[in-house]
Amino acid sequence: MPEILRPKGIFAALLCIALLPSCAFVAPLESLWESYKTRFIQNGRVVDTGNQGVTHSEGQGYGMLLAVAAGDRPTFESLWQWTRANLQVRGDHLFMWRHRPHVPLSQEDPNNATDGDLLIAWALLEAAGRWNEPIWEREARAILADLKPKIVRRWHSHTVLLPGAYGFEHQGRLTLNLSYWVFPALRRFAAADSDPVWRELVNGGLALIRQARFGTWKLPSDWVEAAETLQPDPKHPPRFGYDAVRIPLYLVWGGYHNRELLSPFVDFWKAFGGFLPPWLDLELGCVGAYPASGGTRAIYNLSRFAIGKSWWLYLPSPTPKDAYYSTSLILLSHLAARRIP
């Protein structure tokens, strides 16, 4: 059952007062976090229950951010210790993108995933500030120092992020994933680091999102190819799907609430009424026939509210049907909602 976080505007506030006590208010983050820990965290490892129980650097970053937001220092420390011991094993300060239980380290792909690195560094900075631990800030800065030469590139006039340290540059073409632009993290780095590269990455990401408007609905694909022009990457299905759904989440969380950026996402989801498609084929125009997850619905409702197309912000609480990824998106939407004025 969706829950109302808060009304927007004086008329919505008056309506909420008139309807009390029938209004349902959002559960505190701490209670959502306790359930998340029980379901998905095992000895400092965030388990992807929808993907054969693997762990990704992205998931560790999500868990660390949520732990800081919930004020749960013991779990944060457990997550960070596991991450250092099992993912920060490349010989630099970046993190292997995946850990599979019972698979020897020598058989794992040592490449990093840039969004995981950004999330972990951001969580460390937030933890350092909340709990006055300078060592975590130093560890965050070491991650950022290694990221700059390995994943920051120029494409035309834009500063862009490679999704990983290798495998995404091909004879003048770049393979990019716009959902790896974690805008609130990049803005946090820009405030903490005098290097202008973080602000340049923010500007580059916003420019690419404006350009990556494909198909009838003018939406970005999960993966794009940056060559002479920007287009859906031919090595991946041309879908607005499980990766790109995070783009509006990170825009809202980063403070970008303008209609120009968010309306294509909202208009697409709104067009289907109560049914929310899980993905859209940008070439054929067809959508998945089953309903999207609770995480997608949370991002849709968050985006509608952010641009004023809804008086109410309805955010779901996770259900047993929501696996790791959907549940993470729901909780992250709760965090992003607190950034909306």
Q: Which residues are catalytic?
A: 115
Rounded CA gap, 8 and 341, in Å? 9
Q: Please, what is the angle between helix 259-270 and helix 197-211, to 10°?
A: 40
| 297 Cβ contact partners less than 8 Å away, ≥ 6 residues apart | 2, 276, 316
Q: What angle do CA 69, 195, 230 make, to 5 degrees?
A: 85
Contacts of 94 (CB under 8 A, 6+ apart): 88, 112, 117, 143, 146, 147, 150, 165
For residue 62 the two structure tokens come to: 């999500």
* Cβ-contact 266, 309 below 8 angstroms: yes
Residue 73, number of CB atoms within 10 A of its CB: 14
Residue type, 29: L
Provide the token pair at 48. 């992807």
Burial class (CB in 10 A: 0-12, 13-18, 19+), 11: exposed
- What residues does 41 pair with on adjacent strands? 46
Asked whether 174 and 226 are in contact (CB, 8 A), the reply is yes
The token duo for 145 is 């120092």
Distance between CA 137 and CA 123 in Å, rounded? Answer: 10
Q: How far apart are CA 198 and CA 294, in angstroms?
A: 32
Report which of 97, 115, 32, 45 is spatially closest to residue 332, judged by C-alpha positions.
32
**What amino acid occupies position 102?**
H
